[in-house]
Structure 1
Amino acid sequence: MNVAMRAPQWDGLIRRDRVHGSLYTDPAVFAAELEQIWYRTWVYVGHESEVPNANDYVVKSIGPQSIIMTRDEAGKIHLLLNRCSHRANQVCSFDRGNARSFTCPFHAWTFANDGRLVGYAFPDGYEGQDRAGLSLARVTRMESYRGFIFGSFAAEGPTLKQHLGGAAETIDRLVRTSPEGEVEITAGFLKHRVKANWKFILENECDGYHPAFVHTSIFGVADSAIGKLYGGASTALTRDYGNGHTEIDLRPEFRKRDQPLSWFGTAEDRLPDYAARMKAAYGDKTAREIMIDGTPHVMIFPNLFIAEIQMFVIQPLAVDDSVQHVTALQFKGAPDLNRRLRQQTMGSVGPAGFLLADDSEMYERCHRGVQARNPEWVYLGRGEKRERRDELGFTVGHVTDEVPSRGIWDHYRKLMEPV
Structure 2
Amino acid sequence: METPPTRAWDRLIRQEYVHGSLYTDEAIFREELEKIWYRTWVYVGHVSEIPQPNDYVLKTIGLEEIIMTRDRDGQVHLLHNRCPHRGNRVCVKHQGNARSFTCAYHGWNFGNDGQLKGYPYPSGYPDDKRKELGLGRVARMGIYNGFVFGALAADGPTLEQHLGPAKATLDNVCRNSPEGEILLNTGFLQHKVKANWKLLVENETDGYHPQVTHASIFDVADSGIGALYNENAASVTRAFGNGHSELDLRPEFRKFNEPMRWFGTTADRLPDYVAKMKAAYGEEQAHEIMVDGVRHVMIFPNLFIAEIQLFVLQPLSVNETVQHVTALQFKGAPDLNRRMRQQTMGSVGPAGFLLADDAEMYERTQMGVQQRNPEWLYLGRGSHREHTEPDGCVVGNVTDDMPSRHLWKHYQSLMEAA
Could you say whether these structures have the same fold, taking a TM-score greater than 0.5 normalized by the shorter chain as the test? yes
Alignment partner, residue 131 of structure 1: 130
Q: Secondary structure at the match of 1:14?
A: coil
Matched, 1:263 2:269: no
Q: How does 1:288-303 map to 2 (within 5 A)?
A: 288-303=287-302
Matching residue of 2:336: 337
Q: Counterpart of 1:93 in 2: which secondary structure?
A: coil
Aligned equivalent of 1:121: 120
Q: Does 1:146 align with 2:145?
A: yes
Task: Give the secondary-structure state (helix, strand or coil) at the position aligned to 2:120.
Answer: coil
Indicate the residue corresponding to 1:392 in structure 2.
391
Residue 175 of structure 1 aligns with an amino acid whose one-letter code is: C
Aligned partner of 1:306 in structure 2 is 305
- For 1:32, the equivalent position in structure 2 comes to 31
Moved more, 299-308 or 214-223: 214-223
In structure 2, how many angstroms separate the alpha carbons of the residues matched to 1:372 and 1:33?
22
Partner AA of 1:6 in structure 2: T
After superposition, give the CA deviation of every residue in 1:88-135 in whole Å (9 maximum; x if it has no partner): 111111111000011112222111100011122333323424222210
How many Å apart are 1:365 and its aligned residue?
A: 0.7
Equivalent residue letter for 1:169: A
**Letter in structure 1 aligned against 2:204:** E
Once the two structures are superposed, the pairs formed by residues 32-71 of structure 1 within 5 Å of their partners are 32-71=31-70
Q: Which amino acid aligns with 1:369?
A: G
**Which runs of 5 or more residues in structure 2 are unaligned?**
none
Find the residue that maps to 2:355 and give its secondary structure. helix
Alignment of 1:81 with 2:80, yes or no, is: yes
Q: How many residues align?
A: 417
Give the match's secondary structure for 1:342.
helix
Q: Which residue matches 1:230? A: 229
Q: Tell whether 2:180 aligns with 1:181.
A: yes
TM-score by length of 2: 0.98
Match for 2:264: what amino acid? G
* Aligned position for 1:368: 367
Q: Aligned partners of 1:329, 1:114: CA distance in 2, in Å? A: 28
> In the alignment, which residue of structure 1 is the partner of 2:318?
319
SS of alignment partner, residue 155 of structure 1: coil
Counterpart of 1:412? 411
1:41-78 CA-partner distances (Å, limit 9, x unpaired): 10000111111111000111101111000000111000
Aligned pairs for 1:87-126 within 5 A: 87-126=86-125
Paired residue type of 1:366: T
SS of 1:132 mapped into structure 2: coil
* AA aligned opposite 2:96: G
Q: Which residue of 2 aligns with 1:2?
A: 3
Task: Report what 2:13 is aligned to.
Answer: 14
* Partner-residue secondary structure (3-state), 2:245: strand
C-alpha RMSD over aligned residues: 1.0
Look up the equivalent residue of 1:84 and give its one-letter code.
C
Between the aligned partners of 2:391 and 2:127, the Cα distance in structure 1 is 60
Q: 1:158: which partner in 2? A: 157
Q: Distance in 2 between matches of 1:342 and 1:207?
A: 24
The one-letter code of the counterpart of 1:413 is Q
In 2, Cα distance between the equivalents of 1:343 and 1:48? Answer: 23
1:160 maps to amino acid: L
Offset, 1:2: 3.3
Distance 1:106 1:217 in 2: 53
The alignment partner of 1:133 has SS state of: coil
> Could you report, residue by residue, the CA deviation over 1:372-412 in whole angstroms, capped at 9, with x for unpaired residues?
01211111000001111234331111100011001100000
Pairs within 5 Å for 1:190-269:
190-269=189-268
Structure 1 Cα separation of the partners of residues 157 and 260 of structure 2: 37
Aligned to 2:356: 357
Q: Which amino acid aligns with 2:107?
A: A
Q: How far does residue 242 in structure 1 lie from its aligned partner after superposition?
A: 0.4
- Structure 2 counterpart of 1:147, which letter? G
- List runs of 5+ in structure 1 lacking aligned partners: none
Matches within 5 A, 1:267-286: 267-286=266-285
Give, as a single letter, the amino acid of the residue that structure 1 aligns with 2:131.
A
Runs of 4+ displaced beyond 4 Å: none
Q: Structure 2: how far apart are the matches of 1:14 and 1:212?
A: 28
User: AA paired with 1:347?
Assistant: G
Give secondary structure in 2 for the equivalent of 1:241. strand
Rounded Cα–Cα distance in structure 2 between residues aligned with 1:103 and 1:322: 30
Following superposition, the deviation at residue 264 of structure 1 comes to: 0.1
SS in 2 for 1:278: helix
The amino acid of 1:155's aligned partner reads: A
Quick one: which amino acid aligns to residue 236 of structure 1? S
C-alpha distance after superposition, 1:298-324 (max 9, x if no partner): 000000001110000011111111101
Q: Could you state the TM-score of these two structures normalised by the residue count of structure 1?
A: 0.98
Give the secondary structure class of the aligned counterpart of 2:357: helix
Quick one: distance in 1 between partners of 2:404 and 2:381?
10
